A = this chain, B = another copy of it.
């Protein structure tokens, strides 16, 4: 799979793919002519990278994520126990971000329904109802 195909398949630009590689997030093979060669799993991987980057994580953060998410193949995990701690921390970060966004969402929904905010001022709602809706619908 050449870089242009991967770009189209994963919805990012060729430039972004080269950037991700430069940041150590991708390590494609090289053909004899110097062209980058990606396998099919790279599509998932790139989507996950983009997903994290567009949610406020940095390339450095993503580096911490990927060792155990490599190419979306979770079965690789037992081979990388040293990063368990790092992954656990990342899960906590995600929990926090999710809770924050859910709180904002709840406030917007309250706003739309015209209800007052049942919370003490000084911060955004912390304890919120379970997340039940599915994306896009």
Contact = CB atoms under 8 A, between A and B. Distances in A.
Interface of A: 40-41, 43-44, 47-48, 51-52, 54-56, 65, 68-69, 72-75, 77-78, 84, 87-88, 90-92, 94-102, 104-105, 107-112, 114-117, 121-124, 126-127, 130-137
Residue from the set A41, A65, A112 with the largest chain B CB neighbour count within 10 Å: A112
Grouping DSSP codes into helix (H, G, I), strand (E, B) and loop, the A interface class, with mixed when no group exceeds half, is helix
Instruction: Specify how many copies of this chain sit in the oligomer.
Output: 2
A95 B105 contact: yes
**5 interchain residue pairs of minimum CB distance:** A131-B131, A99-B135, A56-B56, A94-B105, A77-B111
A107 B74 contact: yes
Nearest to A67: B111
B108 A131 contact: no
Given A124-B51, A130-B130, A98 B91 contact: no
A56 B72 CA distance: 23
A134 B124 contact: no
A33 to B, nearest CB: 28
A98 B131 contact: yes
Contacts of A132: 130
A117 B100 CA distance: 27
